[in-house]
Amino acid sequence: MAISSEFNKETNTLIINITGSFDINVYQKFGESYKDYLKPEYSIIIDLSETEYMDSSALGMLLMLRERAGGESSSITIRNCTDGIKKILSTANFQRLFNINE
């Protein structure tokens, strides 16, 4: 499990990559990855291309990120989900709260 992030100054976009399991064990690192990028003019992309597992605590972390980033006015995209993770996000109706891309 690993969290890495990179901020693109040209596009004001933070990309957070999650490798392995997205669960309670990455809570602190996930929060640290975005804490300095919660401005309204910033976009956030969560890249799950290397995420093998996601549990309910990950859903909670995503909801907390959304709230801290401005709620409905935030720009958060979740991309590169596996079929299993897409099903979890769909079951939780996250497509209503986040932009979810293939």
For residues 10 and 42, the answer to whether their CB atoms sit within 8 Å is no
What is this structure's pTM? 0.94
Position 32 confidence tier, pLDDT thresholds 50, 70, 90 = very high
Query: Residue 80 carries which DSSP code?
Result: S
Q: What percent of the chain has pLDDT over 90?
A: 97
Alpha helices in the chain, H assignment, sequence order: 27-34, 56-68, 83-91
For residues 39 and 70, the answer to whether their CB atoms sit within 8 Å is no
Q: Which two three-digit tokens encode residue 81? A: 């989900």
**For residue 1, what pLDDT is reported?**
65
Out of 1.20.140.70, 3.30.930.10, 3.40.50.920, 3.30.750.24, select the CATH number for domain 2-101.
3.30.750.24
